[in-house]
């Protein structure tokens, strides 16, 4: 790798990949650029990336003052955390039981989980909404988190991961005096970090960015997670103030990027440290 010659093929490959990366990054670059621009430059006919007059402070202060931005971020953190914690707490023992214990109906349950993977939230949204509405819990964190607390995807992912864990490891734990709960906590979880981290990335990204469900159960800005907050912002405050809107979008995107980079590092550590063989 290090001594590879700068061949034409390599240059072509690099150019091709760079072009691809540019296409995917363009919206983000444009978002950053717009967040820095004053209003009149955004609507000017010339396309420039670097603003002539920097309006970052103006835009970001608008984003933080016109809407309760901190409240939105906090809502997002709470809802994502509740969803993730409950998902993992439910899915770990479920997946362990299905992967490693023998009991009647296990195959049927696995089939049920596979079926569950095929049903989108949009299909069940209406009945769940009616139930939550009937219970009088609309506009709460619970309403935001409830439909996602049991994740068949998490169970499925952990199930696949646990199946690869050697049975003897669990048998050894049983002989060492561990209960099934202790096995999950002391043997399965410490060795399942790569799977848990991978799932956490999926879960947090999906629910941080989710707009569909919050739009159904939340009508108050105080309860809105970030994307819904942006919608409210645009409708009520910003109008055509795209600079401030993009600044707010940047603020909403950054925590996710940071979390992802941190988790990614942990994720790779997890893979290299876990020598599951023999």
Partner 1 sequence: MSGLALRGISKAYGDNHILRDVTIEAKPGEFVALVGPSGCGKTTLLRIAAGLDHPDRGGVWLGERDMTAMRPSERDIAMVFQSYALYPHLTAGQNIAVPLAMRDLTVWQRLPWIGSLLPGQRVIRADIQRRVFETARSLKIDQLLDRKPAQMSGGQRQRVALGRALVRSPAAFLMDEPLSNLDANLRVHTRSEIVELHRRAGVTTLYVTHDQAEALSMADRVAVMMGGRLLQFDTPEAIYGNPAHVEVARFIGSPQINLLAGEVDAAHGIRIGGRLFVEGVGATPGTRVTIGFRPEAIKLGGPGQAGLGASVQRIEFLGSETLVFLEFARGEASLVAKLAPAEATFFRPGQAVTIAVASGEVLVFGADGSRLSVSPAMRMAANG
Shortest distance, CB of residue 268 to partner 1, whole angstroms?
A: 16
Shortest distance, CB of residue 273 to partner 1, whole angstroms?
A: 8
Shortest distance, CB of residue 187 to partner 1, whole angstroms?
A: 6
Shortest distance, CB of residue 82 to partner 1, whole angstroms?
A: 23
Interacting residue with partner 1 among 44, 124, 133, 274 (CB under 8 A): 274
- Cα separation, 157 vs 254, in Å, equals 27
């790779």: which residue's tokens? 268
- Cα separation, 34 vs 28, in Å, equals 10
Please give the residues from 239 up to 268 whose contact with partner 1 meets the rule CB under 8 A.
Answer: none
On whether the CB atoms of residues 198 and 211 are closer than 8 A, the answer is no
Per-residue binding letters, 165-204, with partner 1 (x by CB under 8 A) = -x-xx-xxxxxxxxx--x---xx--xx-------------
On whether the CB atoms of residues 215 and 228 are closer than 8 A, the answer is yes
Shortest distance, CB of residue 155 to partner 1, whole angstroms?
A: 22
140: tokens are: 């709460």
On whether the CB atoms of residues 59 and 31 are closer than 8 A, the answer is no
- Cα separation, 188 vs 174, in Å, equals 13
CB closer to partner 1, 47 vs 168: 168
On whether the CB atoms of residues 231 and 211 are closer than 8 A, the answer is yes
CB closer to partner 1, 65 vs 179: 179
CB closer to partner 1, 105 vs 168: 168
Report if residue 275 touches partner 1, rule: CB under 8 A: yes
- Which one, of 91, 87, 80, lies nearest residue 207 by Cα? 80
Residues that bind partner 1 (CB under 8 A): 166, 168-169, 171-179, 182, 186-187, 190-191, 273-278
């Amino acid at each position: 790798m290090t001594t590879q010659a700068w061949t034409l093929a390599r240059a072509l490959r690099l150019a091709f990949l760079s072009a691809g990366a540019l296409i995917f990054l363009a919206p983000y670059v444009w978002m950053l650029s717009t967040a820095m621009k004053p209003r009149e430059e955004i609507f000017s006919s010339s396309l420039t990336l670097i603003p002539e007059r920097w309006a970052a402070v103006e835009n970001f202060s608008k984003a933080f003052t016109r809407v309760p931005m901190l409240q939105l971020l906090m809502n997002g953190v709470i809802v994502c955390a509740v969803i993730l914690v409950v998902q993992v707490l439910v899915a770990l023992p479920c997946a362990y039981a299905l992967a490693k214990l023998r009991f009647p109906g296990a195959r049927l349950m696995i089939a049920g989980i596979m079926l569950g993977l095929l049903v989108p939230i949009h299909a069940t949204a209406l009945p769940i909404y009616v139930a939550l509405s009937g219970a009088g819990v609309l506009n709460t964190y619970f309403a935001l988190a409830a439909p996602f607390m049991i994740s068949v995807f998490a169970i499925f992912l952990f199930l696949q991961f646990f199946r690869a864990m050697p049975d003897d490891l669990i048998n050894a734990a049983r002989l060492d005096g561990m209960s099934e709960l202790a096995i999950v906590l002391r043997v399965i979880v410490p060795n399942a970090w790569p799977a848990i981290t991978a799932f956490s990335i999926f879960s947090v990204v999906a629910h941080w960015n989710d707009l569909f469900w919050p739009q159904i159960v939340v009508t108050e800005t105080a309860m809105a997670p970030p994307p819904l907050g942006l919608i409210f912002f645009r409708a009520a405050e910003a109008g055509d103030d795209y600079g401030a809107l993009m600044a707010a979008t940047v603020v909403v995107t950054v925590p996710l990027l940071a979390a992802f980079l941190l988790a990614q590092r942990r994720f790779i550590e997890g893979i290299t440290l876990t020598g599951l063989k023999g």
